[in-house]
Structure 1
Amino acid sequence: MLIVSLQNDKGYAYAIWSTVSNSLLGFDLNKSEAIEIVHNVTGCDELRAEDIVDHPKPYSEILLHIIDREREYYKSRIGDLRLRCHDSARDSFDAGNYGILHIVTADELKSAKLDRKSPEKVKNMKKLFVSVPMKGRTEEEIKASIQKMKKIAEIYEGEELELIDSYIDEEPTENCNRGVWFLAKSIDMLSEADVFIGIQECYDWKGCWIENGVAEKYDIKRYSVRADYVIDDYASVYRKAHPECVNACFPG
């Protein structure tokens, strides 16, 4: 069964969830893209597919499925952690005292009795590129937004993702266009990505707009999130970075 929903009240971005595979089949879709997915997955004719898309379900239905899937995922993770406790500590762990994990000794870690991430698992993890505004923001603010967006992308993907560190702390060489230099660095990192997440308001930020366009044109799986969900006081951040726009709109 497919759940087709509108992601917002503007009516131009669709999401599609499969209850069979328990996963998102599409996100930020336009109407024709949504119709194509419904047609291909269900095998119905295009008129029926269009009718389904024209009668979308509330987006909350997809969110509930995502939450249920995440609940099962973390239940399994808790089970794995329980097995890593000493036998004598498991009763406390079962009672909800997860701090008991700190009993594990350094000697056990050194002897590799607690296998954190196997090289094979790390090798097979999908790589995530996060596109977020950086102009006029501190390193701490930028990295906080990146971590929020990583968690959102992992919820949509239903698995842990390897983060490509897109924060650039280098300074460009002399006699070059700073914006182009930073953008070139970002595009280079984006070339390694399996998954991309950016902000819906990317059109307000030249670098984010171009990164989103590159991900779209080169078929990197994309997600987007509202800027004010991941950037504190986004309106102030925007005004600070674009004073010329603010002055033009509100002269004097």
Structure 2
Amino acid sequence: MSLLVEHASGLLTLTFSEPAKRNPLTPEIADALAKEIREAEASDLVRAVLILGSGGNFSSGGDLRAMPPADTIAAADRLRRYAALITTMAKSTLPMVCALEGTTAGIALGVATACDVIVADEQARLLFPFSRLGLFPDGGLIHGLASRVGPGRAKALLLVGDPVTAQRAYDMGLVDRLAPPGSAVALASDIARDLALRAPLSVGSIKSAFSDGVNALAPTLETERITQSRLYFSEDFTEGRAAFFDKRQAAFTGR
């Protein structure tokens, strides 16, 4: 298992670190990612998560050399572990940013679409190989992809399976920011550090509102009523309001 873990100034950085194999996303790596995110969620020290790959690639996805699993029981366990990671990411109140460089393929795109902000190197390629391999999209990718580009386009991407350039991914809304070659990590790091300074209650509430998909208008307005009524009287809003009028950086506490 190769996952580098770094903590600095409220930012948790998790880096896939098996560059010789283009950072495959194994069940063990999924377990480790989920564990780190859960621990960060419970900590007052972490305000944002940054997910990276090493060696110029984000992740090649599942390791074909380790497939198929030994039997259907092992297969179900493998998918359960991946599902636990994606669910942990989706339910976390921490903002998550990833930087896509080189190749991002298969289930790794499920991890990427579970992030809140996706930054891609202009030379990055996104690969959807499932129909070419005889496999089903995993890592919650049908949901994550459709939530970003719409069901029709998501279906076409997964069925046709052609490589997608970073520019095309940006144009269709799959990627949020493009970075010049070699600078995706720096840009993603800047965004993540900035998010780590935002009001945790506000950020967490926004994430929670989106975690189960966009609701109809009436439930959305009810969520606003409940959540905003609580945040009006938080210490963070008092601090944010004061910092706005004082023209300074707010120091949020999450209370």
TM-score, with length taken from structure 1 = 0.24
- Higher fraction of helix: 1
Higher relative contact order (CA 8 A, sep 6+): 2
Greater gyration radius: 1
